[in-house]
Structure 1
Amino acid sequence: MVKNLPLLMAMLVIGISTVSITLNTQMPEFIKIPLEIVGTVLNTWSLVALILHLGIKNLSKI
């Protein structure tokens, strides 16, 4: 499980960056909407995976 942690953190940072860029810049709609979707999916996916990672890590300590 430890090998996945850097990937999950990178996904979270990329997702947050993508969403903040799309919210703060002027872009055409055909670029802005897919970037928002990709950023939201990356954020959701990485947060769920991090929660599962921490839960499994804590269960393995018990």
Structure 2
Amino acid sequence: MIAVSFLTELFAFLAVLSGSTLLVLIYLDNRKVRIDDGIAKFRRHIDALSPEARRNSVHFNNPDDRRE
């Protein structure tokens, strides 16, 4: 009887431990910055620039458009 109680408590403890570990991993995964976030931030920054500044940024980053 004591062994059954011990096993029940052990499995309950492992279930709680596994569940809390899973929650922590999900939280840490959602907290990470994704590459798409950086791309969206860059596009918002470019869109906020004036047309003259945007032209210079696009010209500088476009190798086909460079004229020396």
Tell me the TM-score normalised to structure 2 length: 0.46
Which 4+ stretches in 1 moved above 2 angstroms? Answer: none
What stretches of structure 2 of length at least 5 have no aligned partner?
A: 35-68
Query: Which structure has more RCO (C-alpha within 8 Å, separation ≥ 6)?
Result: 1
**Number of residues paired by the alignment?**
34
- What is the one-letter code of the residue matched to 2:29? K
**How far apart, CA to CA, are the structure 1 residues paired with 2:8 and 2:23?**
22
**How far apart, CA to CA, are the structure 2 residues paired with 1:47 and 1:36?**
16
Q: Larger Cα Rg: Structure 1 or Structure 2? A: 2
Written as runs of structure 1 = structure 2, the 5 A alignment for 1:10-29 is 29=1
Tell me the TM-score normalised to structure 1 length: 0.51
Give the aligned CA root-mean-square deviation in angstroms: 1.2
Q: 2:11 aligns with which of 39, 42, 62?
A: 39
Percent sequence identity over matched residues? Answer: 15
- The structure that is helix-richer by fraction is 1
